[in-house]
A and B are shown apart, each in its own frame.
Chain A
Amino acid sequence: NAGVTQTPKFRILKIGQSMTLQCAQDMNHNYMYWYRQDPGMGLKLIYYSVGAGITDKGEVPNGYNVSRSTTEYFPLRLELAAPSQTSVYFCASSPGNSNQPQHFGDGTRLSIL
């Protein structure tokens, strides 16, 4: 069972470049989330989705975009990469019921130089 799969695992971007972080889950979960984790800090929510076609902003959405055309995929787009976006990005999913935990991918380590 693959769970939540994130690609790529590592990436280096130049300032101003764009890229898409991929996230896929095979558990038929309704909810999906993108977090960023800066060194020594907890996770901050960027965007989340409660189902296909529905997305909403989290705590730190600026500089990012998302889409959710299917239940399985929830890509995160960086349009104009900035050094402040250097971080580790985690995708997660959950059924959406209050008694079910989140499942996390292994993360994407992104450096912007």
Chain B
Amino acid sequence: KQEVTQIPAALSVPEGENLVLNCSFTDSAIYNLQWFRQDPGKGLTSLLLIQSSQREQTSGRLNASLDKSSGRSTLYIAASQPGDSATYLCAVLNRDDKIIFGKGTRLHILP
């Protein structure tokens, strides 16, 4: 059964720092991996999607990598800003077409 784990559960960093969020999954037979952002009381906003055949995706200050064989993904945020404060969720799409989410990392950027 697929398990998705995100470490750390919470992170506070000063504005301007680069940071890395980690995601691991137990079953490497996935179609893709997606990173989402969730603001308090709001829905999920897709940030990046990496297909199983890809190694990384970039969007602006965000870079996501995928190492399928080791069951790991990272989300790199460059030059963090207070507006980046949110919960970041990692989710994998399994071969059975079900999406499994991690519990998320709560990120707080200190002004």
Q: Do chains A and B stick together as partners?
A: no
Interface residues, chain A, with chain B CB atoms under 8 Å away:
none
B residues touching A (Cβ–Cβ < 8 Å)? none
